[in-house]
Chain A
């Protein structure tokens, strides 16, 4: 039996296999000062601080789970150095 729960907003809960929003992260390594805001506040935990250095001696973030990125651009909003941003990829899923 299929039970469909409808919320007052009219939205349905995600089911396995539903299309979800996808995105890609772009990192400008040389601007990063390794504050870690993007790594901490990424809702899908796409990022981690890498062990590599940039030319100023900071450890910029790198992408560890690219498949989880939804392109919400929260990393871009948090970044105080304008060194990271994400863009939605048009997959037909998500809004």
Chain B
């Protein structure tokens, strides 16, 4: 792609005709898209081999704003859709870009099963700790004591610790950053592209309109300052210790980086063992 000095370096990755986007002032989703575009530039990935899949929600809108092969799927079904894409054309790099409500709540089962099968997907989960698009209801990731529209006297349900959940299910690469850690986030995304298997990157992002306002935490900028002050980088931290609290420390870093055979390798191994020469690779059959 030719470098033009007069435009933003991420402009070639955006559908400029759809800007300005719908995200609120101070929302961090745009920042994560920015990091994603820069990770694409850095990793020099072939954009023709890349597909981006989103579910429903504020973060689900990413699919409509990036100039890539992108799909805006039904609620919670971003991972099954991406699994289908990957199985039909194993040469594709498939990225799932969605929110915590989409991936961990309605799509929670898909998340753990994709991690268990170790399908080669890069999942970027923008976690704003609430259902933002529908009006600020309690999500499975909302930390205890937070006030939401469905828990006006504070939440009392224990929240999901997403890195712990996907590690237990079998993901090979797990990192967490906040929208304050832009360079680290872009580097993590580049690393995930070069990793074979189920990669999960959680990005803690402010929701100034619903979560921060209801919990009297100020606006997006105040939240970014809070991330700067309260986040601690601990690479390789045991994921059972990285749960989020309302006002406490946020442990960030690369928690897991391991190797396990991915779905495709396991499928090939099993079928070659059972069928021998009669087994034909899917790619050779339909995608030539």
Q: Is A53 an interface position by the 8 A CB rule?
A: no
**CA–CA, A58 and B180, complex, Å:** 22
Is A77 within 8 A of B31, CB to CB? yes
Is B30 within 8 A of A34, CB to CB? no
Closest to B11 in A: A82
Separation in Å of the B245 CB from the closest CB of chain A?
A: 24
User: B36-47 CB contact bits vs A (8 Å, 1 = yes)?
Assistant: 001000000000
Pick the interface stretch among B15-23, B83-91, B164-172, B193-201.
B15-23
Our pick among B19, B26, B219 for the contact of A82 (Cβ within 8 Å) is B19
Specify which chain B residues have a CB less than 8 angstroms from the CB of A34 in the assembled complex: 25
Counting chain A CB atoms within 10 Å of each CB, the highest count among B6, B8, B186, B221 belongs to: B8
Is A82 within 8 A of B10, CB to CB? yes
Q: Is B34 an interface position by the 8 A CB rule?
A: yes
Closest to B5 in A: A87
A-B contact count (CB 8 A): 72
Is B224 within 8 A of A58, CB to CB? no
Is B182 within 8 A of A82, CB to CB? no
Count how many chain B residues have C-beta atoms less than 8 Å from C-beta atoms of the other chain.
Answer: 32
Our pick among A26, A36, A58, A78 for the contact of B8 (Cβ within 8 Å) is A26
Is B8 within 8 A of A28, CB to CB? yes
Counting chain B CB atoms within 10 Å of each CB, the highest count among A41, A76, A77 belongs to: A77
Closest to B38 in A: A77
Our pick among A40, A58, A81, A85 for the contact of B221 (Cβ within 8 Å) is A40
Using A31-B19, A33-B20 as known contacts, say yes or no to A82 and B224 having CB atoms under 8 A apart.
no
Q: Is B213 an interface position by the 8 A CB rule?
A: no
Specify which chain A residues have a CB less than 8 angstroms from the CB of B224 in the assembled complex: 37, 40-41
